[in-house]
A = this chain, B = another copy of it.
Amino acid sequence: MTVPEIDRSQGVTAAAGFRAAGVAAGIKTNGKPDLTLVVNDGPVTAAAGVFTRNKVKAAPVLWSKQVLTTGRLKAAVLNSGGANACTGPEGFQDSHATAEKVADVLGIGAIDVAVCSTGLIGERLPMDAIRSGIDLAAKELARSADASLAAATGVMTTDTRPKLAALTAPGGWTVGGFAKGAGMCAPNMATMLSVVTTDAVVDSATADAALRAAVDATFNRLDVDGGTSTNDTVLLLVSGASGVEVDQASFTEHLTTLCADLVAQLQADAEGVTKHVTITVRGAATDAEAVATARTVAVDNLCKTAFFASDPNWGRIAMAVGNAPTEFDQSKLDITINGVTVCRAGGRGEDRSVADLSGRDILVEIDLHAGDGVGTILTTDLSHAYVEENSAYSS
């Protein structure tokens, strides 16, 4: 079958039935865009969300989980410049008030409005700025490439560029969206937010199942530094405006393709990144253990500093694999880096100097020879710039 082309100039308004805006509301003190509004004009308003598994959940996460129990959303409002996490009952009231303000302006109910926030933990939001920003955003709502770009820009924190993409699937329906941050994985501002919209005709149950499958295969496979923020949220809004009914398999497939592209953009813009590292584990007892093993390597600082150094240091990788929650026979372990099997049968393979890691992309392939489980994690290196960005100021 034909693979639909990804268009990174389109985003959350590529699908019919959606308008969006991104504005500078004055939440950030530097005057940069900090508030995004996405509106679903229907005809249907099915929706799904996936939220952080962190036990410390931000107020907007608690709010949005609650409203999504209905399986529908007519709007999502997102702010950067403050996470509204660890802000107590007052913080929850602020999220509620934010939804009420959007509801007032759009003539809908607050229960139809999801709220997302990103920024410093532990500070209340400037609600006057939030309210006036919502007024401003409502006036600028549009369906255009500019509106998609503005929506993707309003949620940026330490992101150096907006991340948006869209594709039109065979049959004529479209899915598009934006993302910010660096995955379920604690970038500087400690949050990954994404809103994806579609004009396919799918019900809430299909949307929910498809979103969970897509997130598990994409956002959850990017691991920059092992953390999971208090605010991570991925929302899927369905307008049905294309009139095209789509089965779950096809919908999940194209949604996953779209999410994978957003994740590639997150990886490329991760803090201090100089290397894009892909870690694939084969031969684990199960797929879950393969993913867990890949994740153990991805978060190991000795491996990450070796990647930064373009150093094919397979001993550090073997050390990390030995700490993973999976069983294997160390005398069967193979490790291949950029095509060179530097560790074979648990010992030295080809000379490490043959492996060329000088480029941007590093592919680590690990075979445990203990089963059929396969899994991949995308990660980055640990560079001086990472330390600099995360220690230079409070965030």
Which residues of A does B touch, CB under 8 Å? Answer: 54-57, 83, 85-88, 90-91, 120-123, 186, 188, 190, 225-230, 299-302, 305-306, 308-309, 311, 313-316, 318-324, 327-328, 330-331, 333, 343, 345-348, 352, 382-384, 386-388, 390-395
Q: Contact at A227–B300, with CB atoms within 8 Å? A: yes
Partner among B85, B90, B318 whose Cβ is within 8 Å of the Cβ of A230: B318
Q: Contact at A122–B299, with CB atoms within 8 Å? A: no
Which residues of chain B come closer than 8 Å to A390, judged between CB atoms? Answer: 301-302, 305-306, 309
Q: Which residue on chain B has the smallest CB distance to residue A90?
A: B347
Which residues of chain B come closer than 8 Å to A227, judged between CB atoms? Answer: 300-302, 319-320, 323
Partner among B186, B300, B322, B345 whose Cβ is within 8 Å of the Cβ of A226: B300
Q: Contact at A86–B348, with CB atoms within 8 Å? A: yes
Instruction: Give Cα A383–Cα B305 distance, bound, in whole angstroms.
Output: 12
Which residues of chain B come closer than 8 Å to A320, judged between CB atoms? Answer: 227
Q: Is the interface of A mostly helix, strand, loop or mixed?
A: loop
- How far is the CB of A271 from the nearest CB of chain B, in Å? 10
Which residues of chain B come closer than 8 Å to A333, judged between CB atoms? Answer: 56, 86
Instruction: Give Cα A345–Cα B313 distance, bound, in whole angstroms.
Output: 45
Instruction: Give Cα A395–Cα B346 distance, bound, in whole angstroms.
Output: 18
Instruction: Give Cα A91–Cα B186 distance, bound, in whole angstroms.
Output: 40
Which residues of chain B come closer than 8 Å to A343, judged between CB atoms? Answer: 86, 122
Which residues of chain B come closer than 8 Å to A226, judged between CB atoms? Answer: 299-301
Q: Contact at B330–A83, with CB atoms within 8 Å? A: no
Which residues of chain B come closer than 8 Å to A328, judged between CB atoms? Answer: 55
Which residues of chain B come closer than 8 Å to A331, judged between CB atoms? Answer: 88
Q: Which residue on chain B has the smallest CB distance to residue A328?
A: B55
Instruction: Give Cα A299–Cα B90 distance, bound, in whole angstroms.
Output: 31
Q: Contact at A120–B315, with CB atoms within 8 Å? A: yes
**A301, A305, A313: which has the most chain B beta carbons within 10 Å?**
A301
**Given A302-B390, A383-B387, A390-B301, A318 and B85 touching (CB < 8 A)?**
yes
* 4 tightest A-B CB contacts, nearest first: A121-B315, A56-B322, A309-B391, A305-B390
Which residues of chain B come closer than 8 Å to A352, judged between CB atoms? Answer: 122, 394
- How far is the CB of A326 from the nearest CB of chain B, in Å? 8
Q: Name 12 A/B residue pairs within 8 A (Cβ), A-sorted.
A: A55-B324, A56-B330, A86-B330, A88-B345, A88-B346, A186-B300, A228-B322, A230-B322, A301-B390, A311-B391, A383-B387, A387-B387
Partner among B54, B318, B383 whose Cβ is within 8 Å of the Cβ of A121: B318
Which residues of chain B come closer than 8 Å to A122, judged between CB atoms? Answer: 314-315, 318, 343, 347-348, 352
Instruction: Give Cα A305–Cα B121 distance, bound, in whole angstroms.
Output: 16
Which residues of chain B come closer than 8 Å to A311, judged between CB atoms? Answer: 391, 393-394
Instruction: Give Cα A44–Cα B3 distance, bound, in whole angstroms.
Output: 75
Q: Contact at B392–A309, with CB atoms within 8 Å? A: yes
**Given A300-B227, A343-B122, A387-B387, A319 and B56 touching (CB < 8 A)?**
yes
Q: Which residue on chain B has the smallest CB distance to residue A303?
A: B227
5 new A-B contacts at CB < 8 Å, known A57-B322, A186-B302: A54-B322, A55-B330, A57-B330, A83-B315, A190-B316
- How far is the CB of A285 from the nearest CB of chain B, in Å? 13
